[in-house]
Structure 1
């Protein structure tokens, strides 16, 4: 049986956001190639990081509403919560 992750419901939105981020990264590369002003580049880097963070939060939300909730109901909450906390720790490091 194939596992269906909760973020699947938002797959198209996630893909759309990631394609936009891809365009932003290409735009930043172009700005650097063209020798544009440093602060303008940094503003675009910050916007791209924020967009990528939003994608991660959407996936995390799906995980909590789906996988974590299901594990708690099935009595395996502690293990899944420990796993989640390790991932959140990595995710929030800069």
Structure 2
């Protein structure tokens, strides 16, 4: 759109739509990770794995909120 010299507001609207779509995908993947990987670590009873998954989750959420 930029290369085609499209109207700036139209380009910004598209960027916003893409950002929103990516956020939804990111949230769905995070939900899946918690439901399977993190839950699995807690079900296993392996304390080391549990700590690793929690640390991993906190880091992922931190990256999402930057």
TM-score, structure 1 length as denominator? 0.61
Summarize the alignment of residues 6-25 of structure 1 with structure 2, pairs less than 5 Å apart. Answer: none
Q: Offset at 1:78?
A: 2.3
Partner of 1:25: none
Task: Identify unmatched segments of 5+ residues in structure 2.
Answer: none
Match of 2:30 in 1: 60
Partner of 1:45: 15
Residue in structure 2 matched with residue 77 of structure 1 by the alignment: 50
Distance 2:2 2:55 in 1: 41
Find runs of 4+ consecutive structure 1 residues off by over 3 angstroms.
none
SS in 2 for 1:72: helix
Identify which of structures 1 and 2 has the higher relative contact order when contacts are C-alpha pairs closer than 8 Å and 6+ apart: 1
- Any stretches of 5+ residues in structure 1 without a counterpart? 1-30
